[in-house]
Structure 1
Amino acid sequence: MAESIAYDIITKLSSPLLQQLGLWWNLKDYLQDLKSIVSAIKAVLLDAEERSVSSNLVKDCLEKLKDALYDADDLLDDIHTEAQRKDLLSGSKLTKEVRDFFSSSNQVAYGLKMGGKIKAIKARLASIQSETKMLNLVEREHPIETPFMARRRQQTHSFVRKDEIIGREDDKAALLRLLTEFESEENVFTIPIVGIGGLGKTALAQLVYNDEMVKDQFELKMWVCVSDVFDVKVIVGNIIKSVRKKTPDRNLELDQLQEQLRDEIDEKKYLLVLDDIWNEERELWFSLKSLLKGGARGSMVIVTTRSHMVAKITSKCQPHVLKGLSDDDAWSLFKEIAFEQRSAESTNSTFVYIGKQILKMCVGVPLVISTIAGILSFKETENEWLSFKDNELSRISQNGGEILPTLKLSYDHLPSHLKHCFAYCGLYPKDHSINVTKLVQFWIAQGFVK
């Protein structure tokens, strides 16, 4: 993020209009000094952003740098706006000069004011530059600008193509047996799928949900993405929406919604997938479960979660614990993505050897494998693959099944202008349905997209 801010500042400092204004206001030397400092900092920013994951000192320095760069960016926006205002003023040259002289923002006063602010920003950045030298940050070239985009958790859906899922045949068969052969004492039985992030819990649920055996077995099928906030009213509304294919009236109370839900599911054998549950409060789950009990005998609820506590709360049976891919399946997935952009001749034994070394660090997690393979697919040489393994990948810890540091690799490999756009999406709540047209308009308004 800081790297892309620095890129924008250098672009603005290079603006002919800004350079011309600097001459008018005698700010040229200040602007040139600021440009030199920002350029020097920009050279080590990629290294700083990557090392900030594992070093608190680097992280603190990076935060201070971001604050200073944002202030510098705001200051340059102010100067650029004033330059455009002067350029657009109507009237003769003499009229404009007189108007400027008597205005509250005439050249001399404004120039002195901006000169002081630029001097202060320059001093802040110079101080931070000294810190970066003490941290032994190294100059790094920006990664190859590729169209590869990092993934983020988003609203899930029920469809998946069978040929897109590798290595889950046994898991699918085990779940199908439960869905079609298991006889429970309860009308509605819950099956939890548990595993760390990126293992493919949602993909497995999609596979089962769309299987022909399941279609024949259940009268009604519903899919709801739950995610962080376990709001019973919202979940009930989304179940109704999944059945009727339209959103129920938002003004309805929970009592009215539960009546509609019972109209749809009571006495029907149904399959409901509740994807990505985090709630560990037993009472909240029981309040939802009581509304689901009206289904016909043999009805099933599949719950996907990272939490074993959620599995314990939602079901009396042993959860289906999802594990990493086997070595063969992991290699099939890696090879399919990493070698997609190159000819068969280029997938020589050296690439295969390095790839299998990298694959060991992915611990069989499909999302990690596909993320890293996607980055490598745009790296052309053996040295680039080795550098990625020894430098970037070696800094990532897989302790506790944390997947975000790995996904950040794909962010680090985005071009500067795309980092702004990607980071802006973080303003939206998790699982929010984004209006693409409005999002692009926001990007344009922010100056991310020309």
Structure 2
Amino acid sequence: MTNGYVKSWMKELKSIAYKADDVLDDFQYEALRRHSKNGRSTSQKVHGYITRRSPLLFRFEMSRKLKTILEKTNKLLEEMNKFGLENSVHREEPQHPWRQTHSKLDDSTKIFGREYDKEVVVKLLLDQQDQHKVQVLPIIGMGGLGKMTLAKMVYNDQEVQQHFQLKMWHCVSDNFDPIALLKSIIQLAENKRSDMPDTIEMLRKQLEGLIGQKRFILFLDDVWNENKRIWEDELKPLLCSVGGPGSIIVVTTRSQKVASIMQTLRPHQLECLNEQDSWELFAHKAFSNGVEEQAELASIGRRIVNKCGGLLLLSRQWVDC
């Protein structure tokens, strides 16, 4: 703000922001006005079309205002380069938070409402034993539904552990780079960290030598990649050309597009918990640490559960609050 040009630019930006806010207020007022007009007579409605508040005139006026605001905003964006501000804008937090997950399931953790989903998925995996091509099963659902928990339940299931000769778990998140992904899978197959080449052809040969005809299951947790080319042209030919009959790749994702790109099997859609399971989860968290389940507290808890709409993550966060 010590730079006179930047100070002037900020003042203009503030002015445009206020004008944009005024336009939003106009839209809100018009919406309320039309809502209140629904009960008026036909003659009153016809008369409204020739007044200054007619829909046609409103559209014209708003179009003109929006055009002016957008033109001034674009001009301000162009001027950003002069002050070195553009990089600051582009250094926003990443599109999806990077994280690492693991396959270990805490035996002391009580899981609610996912036994049926687990049985369905496990049966589907075991039923692929005669398939000679590697199958891909997406587990799909919005954030907070427990996709990772379900995947861990399946991964640690005794039948799954006995059925597959090689079991691997890799958290993908934003890093869908083929070389990085192949290196991780090779290390998981070897069960040790080792130096590896950076050429994808050498990695392919190493992967083939390690997996061979073993029946494997690979969990790719938290996949966000919606670039069909990366999967179809680069990763699918590598990951789906190894392994014995019945090999499976399980993908957890929030994105319908990711599922449609990768699937060979119909995705397992994870739904919200029903009311009873939601309450049991909430009550277990809220009243398990020596807190007595009083009628008044239980009544409040049930109202909270109803507002959470079956989302596990929201239920747990409410308890923590």
Question: TM tier, shorter chain?
Answer: 0.5 to 0.7
1:343 paired residue number = 291
State the Cα deviation string for residues 12-40 of structure 1 (Å, max 9, x = none).
xxxxxxxxxxxxxxxxxxxxxxxxxxxxx
Residue equivalent to 1:236:
182
1:390-446: CA deviations, max 9, x gaps?
xxxxxxxxxxxxxxxxxxxxxxxxxxxxxxxxxxxxxxxxxxxxxxxxxxxxxxxxx
Q: Structure 2: how far apart are the matches of 1:302 and 1:272?
A: 6
For 1:332, the aligned partner's letter is E
- Map residues 218-237 of structure 1 onto 2, 5 A cutoff: 218-237=164-183
| Shift in Å, 1:214 | 0.6
2:306 counterpart residue number: 360
Q: Is the 8 A contact 1:222 1:243 kept in 2?
A: yes
Map of 1:272 onto structure 2: 218
Aligned mates of 1:355, 1:251 — CA distance in 2: 55
Asked whether the 8 Å contact 2:167–2:217 carries over to 1, the reply is yes
Alignment partner, residue 322 of structure 1: 270
Equivalent residue, structure 1, for 2:235: 288
C-alpha distance in 2, partners of 1:189/1:318? 10
CA contact (8 A) 1:158 1:209 kept: yes
Alignment-derived partner of residue 140 in structure 2: 194
Q: Counterpart of 2:112? A: 166
CA separation of 1:297/1:250 partners in 2, compared to 1, >3 Å: closer, same or farther?
A: closer
Of stretches 189-198 and 155-164 in structure 1, the one that deviates more from structure 2 is 155-164
Given the superposition, is the C-alpha separation of residues 234 and 365 from structure 1 closer, same or farther in structure 2, using an over 3 Å criterion?
Answer: same
Q: Does 1:248 align with 2:194?
A: yes
Measure the CA separation in 1 of the matches of 2:151 and 2:98. 16
Q: What are the equivalent positions in structure 2 for 1:136-215 lying under 5 Å apart?
A: 154-162=99-107, 163-182=109-128, 185-215=131-161
**Is the CA contact 1:237–1:248 (under 8 Å) kept in the aligned structure 2?**
no
**Residue among 209, 215, 225 paired with 1:263:** 209
- 2: CA distance between counterparts of 1:229 and 1:252? 16
Q: CA deviation at 1:332?
A: 1.2
TM-score by length of 2: 0.66
The answer as to 2:246 corresponding to 1:298 is: yes
% same residue: 39
The CA deviation at 1:184 is 6.1
Question: Structure 2: which amino acid aligns with 1:334?
Answer: F
- The answer (yes or no) to whether the contact 1:158–1:206 under 8 Å persists in 2 is yes
Q: Which moved further from structure 2: 283-292 or 252-261?
A: 252-261
Preserved CA contact (<8 Å) 1:191 1:317:
yes
Q: Secondary structure of 1:247's match? A: coil
Task: Tell whether the 8 Å contact from 2:189 to 2:211 is kept in structure 1 after alignment.
Answer: no
Q: CA deviation at 1:240?
A: 1.2
How far the C-alpha of 1:204 sits from its partner, in A, is 0.6
Deviation of the 1:374 alpha carbon: 1.6
Does the 8 Å CA contact 2:135/2:264 hold for their aligned counterparts? no
With the length of structure 1 as denominator, give the TM-score of the two structures. Answer: 0.47
Cα deviation, 1:44-76, whole Å, max 9, x if unaligned, reads: xxxxxxxxxxxx9xxxxxxxxxxxxxxxxxxxx
Q: List runs of 5+ in structure 1 lacking aligned partners.
A: 1-55, 57-151, 376-450
Higher helix fraction (1 or 2)? 1
Provide the residue aligned with 2:10 in structure 1.
Answer: none
Provide the rounded CA distance (Å) in 2 between the counterparts of 1:153 and 1:289.
23
Task: Give 4+ residue runs of structure 1 displaced > 6 Å after superposition.
Answer: none
Using the TM superposition, give the Cα deviation of residue 266 of structure 1 relative to its aligned residue in structure 2, in angstroms. 1.9
Which residue number in structure 1 is paired with residue 49 of structure 2?
Answer: none
- Report the CA distance between 1:175 and its aligned residue: 0.4
- Whole-Å separation in 2 of the counterparts to 1:297 and 1:265: 12
CA RMSD of aligned residues (A): 2.0
Report the Cα distance in structure 2 between the residues aligned to 1:310 and 1:184, rounded to whole angstroms: 26
Matched, 1:309 2:257: yes
Whether the 8 Å CA contact 1:240–1:248 is kept in 2: the answer is no
The aligned residue for residue 37 of structure 1 is none
Letter paired with 2:272: G
Determine the C-alpha separation between the residues in 2 that align with 1:186 and 1:278.
27
Paired AA for residue 231 in structure 1: D
2:6 corresponding residue in structure 1 = none
CA deviation after TM superposition for structure 1 residue 172, in Å: 0.2
Q: CA deviation at 1:243?
A: 1.9
1:185 CA drift (Å)? 4.6
Q: Within 1, Cα distance between the matches of 2:245 and 2:201?
A: 24
Which residue does 1:332 correspond to in 2?
280
Report the count of equivalent residues: 224
Amino acid at match of 2:254: R
After TM superposition, the structure 1 stretch with the greater mean CA deviation from structure 2, 349-358 or 182-191, is 182-191
Letter of the 1:191 counterpart: L
CA contact (8 A) 2:174 2:224 kept: yes
Q: 1:240 to 1:164 in 2, by over 3 A?
A: farther
Residues of 2 paired with 1:273 and 1:224: CA distance?
Answer: 6
Instruction: Find the aligned partners of 2:198 and 2:228 in 1 and give their Cα distance.
Output: 25
Give the partner amino acid of 1:236: L
